[in-house]
Each structure stands twice: as C-alpha cells, then as structure tokens.
Amino acid sequence: MRVLVADDHDVVRRGLKALLLDAYPAACLVEARDGDEALARLLAEPFDLAVLDLKMPGLGGLDVLTESRRERPETPIIVLTVFAEEEFAVRAYTLGAAAYLTKQQASDELLAAVRKVLAGGRYVSPASAERLAAALGGDIVIPLHEVLSARELQVLKRVAVGMSQKEIAAELGLSEKTVGTYRARVADKTGLSSSVEIARYALKAGLVE
C-alpha cells in the first residue's frame, strides 16, 4: 500500500507515519512538505491513499484536492486540518474528499477513516455528519464560489472588477493562457460565463466592493 502524507510540520508527519505504520507495517509512506510537492507527487506517482493537510505553503490543500481529483480521481484523499469542521467540511466533501478530520480527531478516527476509504467508501465523522447531511439535503445553501479553488476565486474577483485577462496574468504572475484556463473552470463550476454575470454575483456575495 502506497500512502502520501502531506503536511508542512515535521512533527505531524512523523506522528501520522507512526500511526499508519503501526496499523499497516508493510505500507510505503511518502512525504510531502508543501502543497506544490504534494500535487507533484500525486500527479506523478500512483497512491492508494493520500492524507493531506488543508493549509500548507504554496498550493493550499483544497487546491491540491481539486487538481488531484481532476487528474487522478482514483486516488482517495483524506483531508486533515486544524480548522473547525463546520467551516470547511462541506466544501472539502463537495470537492471530492474521501474524509475530513481535524487534527484533534486524528489519533482516534484516522485509522477508522483509512479503513473505510480503502474499502471504497467515504468516511464522515460524527461531528460533521449532521451538517453534511443538511447540506446535501438542501437545508444549507453552499455559495457558488465555495466550490472554487483559491486561484479560481482570485481570477473571479479580478474579472468582477473589470480587469482584462492580460492584467490578471500580470498581477498574479501567470500566463494569459493559464488565466484563461482558470476563467473557463470558473464558468464550468458556477455557470457564470459572462463578465457581467461574474460581476453581479461577486457584488451580491460580498466578494468585491
């Protein structure tokens, strides 16, 4: 079994590896220290599972999750974070996470989540089950922009204030082609295809003034 453990804190990575090796002594554990390294490894190598910190230097965990699910949908990802579940759990599951755990829960629930995920399921902790059920049942309305990666949201905000593709590329240090790709993804995920629609939505959602 090949497992990627991605976290920018050495102590956390060592703890996760020890926990996993205790349960799966023959597992091959690969480390990543930031989001860029995590995504590069996920795209370059096959893994049976990835345990991914939500907040890392470089690409954020949700960006890594989004890109990995797009390119390697067969690799299940457990999101591990210090953030309270009610803030981010729904978004992580919407983007394709197989499980979402806080680091406070990890020692108690990580192995249960790993077993469930390796069996092909999704693990929902008791703490997030009620909120997730409400969201999926329609009781909670998830804003359109919540399904966007951090970079896609940056592009949306700049389109909303009237910046051209060239201006956005210069400000974000990207190529115009890459900005165009992010713009297309925004349209695919939100249904907001025109600049007028994006501006109207961004204003209503309080994303721009």
Q: Which domains does the chain have, with CATH numbers?
A: 2-136 (3.40.50.2300), 144-205 (1.10.10.10)
* Cβ-based burial of 191 (10 A; exposed 0-12, middle 13-18, buried ≥19): exposed
Burial of 92 (0-12, 13-18, 19+ CB in 10 A): buried
| Residue 45 CB neighbour total at 10 angstroms | 12
Mean pLDDT, residues 155-163 taken together: 95
- Would you say residue 126 has pLDDT above 70? no
Whole-model pTM: value is 0.66
Q: Which residue has the higher pLDDT, 59 or 126?
A: 59
Q: Residue 36 burial by CB count (10 A; 0-12/13-18/19+): exposed, middle or buried?
A: middle
Which pLDDT value is given to residue 129?
A: 66
Residue 21 pLDDT: 93
pLDDT band for position 75 (50/70/90)?
very high
Q: For residue 180, which amino acid is it?
A: G
Q: Give the model's pLDDT for residue 131.
A: 63
